[in-house]
Amino acid sequence: MKKQKFIKNEPKNPKATVVILHGFKSSAKKYRKTAEQFYNHGYKCIRFNFTGHNEEIAKTGLTPRVKQAKKAIEHAKEPVLVFGSSLGGLIAVIASAENNKVKALALRSPVTKFELGIKNKIKKKNHILLKPHGIKCKKRFLQDAKKYNAAETIKKVKAPLLIVHGTKDKKVPLKGTKWLIQAANEPKKLVKINAGHLFNKEQWKKTTELAANWFDAHLD
């Protein structure tokens, strides 16, 4: 694995560090405005690209990504807050379990189990095509992803949990988030918005604002 590179946004006297974990086919670059919004709330932000984020056919499993997230949390100056989106939401839960350094979590449309929402697996010559997502992956990727279930692991997370999820999400079903929030420890909050899996600019801004306010409310 290549040396992990962190992108940082840091105000003069940050009140905490937000570790931002991007989604499956996303990147740290796409979270620049999110980081700027947290920065304007007085938070230092750390973001990075997960290994395999730009693979045309996914072969890098979740395990290396979880290790990267744990390393970012370890690297961050306390207190630490975690913001995870989509697959980054699942990874945020796994990486924050039994970690007293994490003071609060905010998740956007988090994956609970990777295969939840997948209706068909079509075997191709050199990969498996997952429908309706259109994801191409190797068998070993799916085998590794099956190890992780956020609804089970969330029981080991003691930090306050906020989840924002779109009611029209076809890719990451809302029912998974309902299982997740039900299993989570208090304090916890689920905010539903009228959106699909991909949020527009205003929905993103609202989600980040909700997360920043949640972090503000739960800092020691």
- Domains of the chain (ranges, CATH numbers): 7-113+149-218 (3.40.50.1820)
> What type of residue is 33?
K
Q: DSSP letter string over 19-83?
A: EEE--TT--GGGGHHHHHHHHHTTEEEEE-PPTTTT-SSB-S-HHHHHHHHHHHHHHSPSSEEEE
| Residue 215 neighbours by CB distance under 10 Å | 26
Instruction: Using CB atoms within 10 Å of the CB of residue 143, give its burial: 0 to 12 exposed, 13 to 18 middle, 19+ buried.
Output: exposed
Q: Which pLDDT value is given to residue 4?
A: 66
Q: What is the pLDDT of residues 123-168, one digit of tens each?
A: 998 999 999 888 999 999 999 999 999 999 999 999 999 999 999 9
> What type of residue is 142?
L
* pTM of structure: 0.94
Instruction: Using CB atoms within 10 Å of the CB of residue 3, give its burial: 0 to 12 exposed, 13 to 18 middle, 19+ buried.
Output: exposed
Q: Which pLDDT value is given to residue 8?
A: 77
Averaged pLDDT for residues 81-103: 97
Give the Cα separation of 18 and 83 in Å (integer). Answer: 7
